[in-house]
Structures are given as structure tokens and as C-alpha cells.
Chain A
Amino acid sequence: MAENSFTLTRRLMLTGLGAGVLSSALPFSALGEPEDADKAIRDLFGDGEIREGKVTVKLPPIAENGNSVAITVSVDSPMSEADHVRRIGLFSPRNPIPELAVFELGPRAGKAEVSTRIRMAGTQRIRAVAEMSDGSLWMGSASTVVTLAACVIG
């Protein structure tokens, strides 16, 4: 009986601990998971095979402020009428919304390179997926260590 009540107490304690962890995690519940980024990529580009290569992502190795991080994505493509990049999507495995931006290009772009500034809710590897005019999908990525995340500091 004594052992039983001890078990109960321990179970109660663990339950309490679990609840504590859960509630302390709540303020961060808006943060995304890598699976969300996988799903966002599939929602946008479909179920085709995504190959590594052709896409280069440039990010600073360290960003002091996640509210504005310079990013450049470039794709190895002749950008001709017959062979060009149609779309490039940028995805975050950690931000509350995995999609960051989608760029629409075409043969008139001349060069498949785009730069912008993104928000990063913490250290992570940003992915870029390019859809070519033949429908093939290519991916590249780069990571940045973020010392002060966006969202958290408001």
C-alpha cells in the first residue's frame, strides 16, 4: 500500500512536471517544425523528385539579429527560352510559417539570382527549391547561427 501511494505520488509528480514543461513551452508553440517546411515545399511544387544541386543559397554564418538577415539565392541555368527557372521558393524549417517567399522568373530575367532580407526565428538551415522550365526540381540550402531570434524580441 505504501509502495502504491509512492508510485501514485511519483506519477503525480511526473504529471505535474510534464504539465510544467508543456506550459513553459507554450509561448514558443508558434515555432514551426522541419516537417512543416517539407509539407509547404510539396504543397507548392508537387510530389516530383527534388534533387540536390544547381541551387546556391548565400547567408551570413552568424546573424546578430534574426529580424533582418540578407539572403541571396542563385540557380545554375542558362535562362533561355528553352531552359530557364520558372519559380524559386524559400523555406524555413523553424519559423511559424515555413514559406518565406516565392519568386517567379522566366527567360526575360536573364539571370537566375534574387536577393532579399528574411526573418529567422532562431538558428536554422534555410532551403531554396527551384522549379525549372522542364518541370524538374532542385534544392540548395544554407544555415545561419542567429544570436537574437525574430519574434522572441518582438
Chain B
Amino acid sequence: MTIRISAPDTASKGDIIELKAMIQHPMETGYRSGSRGENIPRDIITRFECRYNGETVFAADFHPGIAANPFLTFYTKATESGTLAFEWTDQDGESWSESHEITVE
């Protein structure tokens, strides 16, 4: 599962920083048919969370109306040096995560 994160490595305390997170996933809607007319079952990521030193600063619930390879741009205030953790969970509870270290001066 390919994950791409865009986040600054350093920031000044109080800065509002832009975070971008993308995960490779088909986000199969459950409304499509295969080549033999069979229904392709739904397979989607349902939850995304971003934690800053353990505290959730942004989260999202996804439905099938979110495009394949779900992509998000959002913001958070740089408060302290530490870890930004990004986690995606699918409808079956399987999850994938990535983290990014940030230094705040």
C-alpha cells in the first residue's frame, strides 16, 4: 500500500502548517459490475486520523463517494516538536499508517 505524506520538517511555534496525505486504494463503490456481469463488492477506506504527539488534530469518515486513492489536504497548528501520525482504516478494520517527524522552534 503506497502512502504519500507532504508535511514540513520544521516550523515556527504557532505556524499553521499544511498537511497532505494520500493512500493508494481503489475505494471500490460496490456499484460496479465486472466483465461477467458479477457485482464487484464494496471495498473502501472508512476512516482517516491524524495525530500530533498522540492527540487527534484532524479526522475524516469516508463514504464510497470519495475517489480512488483518497487524498486529503488539511491544516494544523505547529505547537511542539514531535511526531505526526497518519492512519487509515478500511471497512474490515485493517489499517495502514505512516509518520512524519517535525521540529518546532
- Write the chain A residue with the least CB distance to B78: A110
Q: Are A104 and B60 in contact (CB under 8 A)?
A: yes
Segment from B1-9, B66-74, B88-96 that makes contact with A? B66-74
Q: Which of B71, B72, B79 contacts A108 (CB 8 A)?
A: B79
The answer on a CB contact under 8 Å between B75 and A110 is yes
Interface mask (A53-95 → B, CB under 8 Å = 1, otherwise 0): 0000000000000011100100000000000000000101001
The answer to whether B16 touches A110 (Cβ under 8 A) is yes
Tell me the bound Cα distance from A74 to B17 in angstroms. Answer: 15
Cβ contact within 8 Å between A119 and B64: yes
How extensive is the interface on chain A, given as a class? 20 to 34
Encode A30-71 as 1/0 by CB contact (under 8 A) with B.
Answer: 100000000000000000000000000000000000011100
A119-B67 in contact (CB<8A): yes
A102-132: which residues lie under 8 A (CB-CB) from chain B?
102-106, 108-111, 113-119
Measured between beta carbons, the chain B residues less than 8 angstroms from A109 are: 57-58, 74-77
Contact of A151 with B32 in the complex, beta carbons under 8 Å: yes
- Are the CB atoms of A119 and B66 closer together than 8 Å? yes
A96-B75 Cα distance, complex, nearest whole Å? 30
Residue among B52, B55, B66 making CB contact with A116, cutoff 8 Å: B66
B66: A residues at CB distance < 8 A:
100-101, 116-119
A108-B55, A154-B33 known; A68-B64 Cβ under 8 A: no
A148 at the interface (CB under 8 A from B): no
Q: Which residues of B contact A (CB under 8 A)?
A: 16-17, 29, 31-33, 52, 55-68, 70-77, 79
A-B pairs with beta carbons under 8 Å apart, 13 shown: A68-B67, A100-B66, A101-B66, A103-B58, A109-B57, A109-B75, A111-B75, A113-B75, A115-B72, A116-B66, A117-B67, A151-B32, A154-B32
What 8 additional pairs, Cβ within 8 angstroms, besides A97-B64, A108-B76, A116-B70? A102-B61, A103-B74, A105-B74, A113-B73, A117-B66, A118-B65, A118-B66, A118-B67
